[in-house]
Amino acid sequence: MTRILFVCMGNICRSPLAEGVFRQLAEAHAGLELEIDSAGTHGYHAGDPPDDRAIAAARRRGVDISKLRARKVQDQDFRQFDLIVAMDRQNFRVLSQQFPRYSDRVRLLMDYAGERKADVPDPYYGGMEGFEHALDLIERGAKGLLDSLSEPDRPRWRPLEF
């Protein structure tokens, strides 16, 4: 079993979108045993559902994230999850600094799309087009991540340096 945690800042936009998209993609790959979750580096919205715009954008693509609830990353997540996937470099740094012992487990989502050191921008302060753009990027990254897990000859993750 491979355990993957997607992380953004508040866990109401990008990381729940990534969790939902990745979960849907993974369902089509029989034989992969995965545990998938999401969290935020900050607890601003703990217990809240995803942003309404994120729910609507995901729903338009056939993904239901409405039952997810925001939570903050905890130390135990680094012991439980094999891979912590940050949506951007800012949250990558926060995770690596807060949990330096486990920083080898932290990666950027867009690395899996072949876009090294690229971010999934936070759509929170924008309109629906920002959510659609974030979803486009998340889908590319999620497909690359899934490929890395399902192709035994392809490296699962690699060290990232800034």
Task: Exactly one of 13, 14, 53, 107 is catalytic; name it.
Answer: 14
- Give dist(CA 99, CA 113) in Å, integer: 25
Q: What is the pTM of this model?
A: 0.92
Question: Which pLDDT score, from 0 to 100, does residue 153 have?
Answer: 59
In the chain, domain spans: 2-150
What CATH superfamily is the domain 2-150? Response regulator (3.40.50.2300)
Closest CA to 121 of 11, 14, 6: 14
**Does residue 160 register a pLDDT over 50?**
no
Answer yes or no: 8 catalytic: yes
The answer on pLDDT for 155 being more than 70 is no
109-147 pLDDT, tens digit per residue, is: 999 999 988 999 999 999 999 999 999 999 999 999 999
The alpha carbon dihedral of 64, 70, 71, 73 has a sign of: positive
Q: From the candidates 51, 77, 119, 122, which is the catalytic residue?
A: 122
Among candidate residues 8, 23, 51, 71, the one labeled active-site is 8
Residue pLDDT, tens place only, 42-74: 999 999 999 999 999 999 999 999 999 999 999
For this structure, is 122 an active site residue? Answer: yes
Q: How many angstroms separate the CA atoms of 87 and 107, rounded?
A: 9
pLDDT tens digit sequence for 142-153:
999 999 998 755
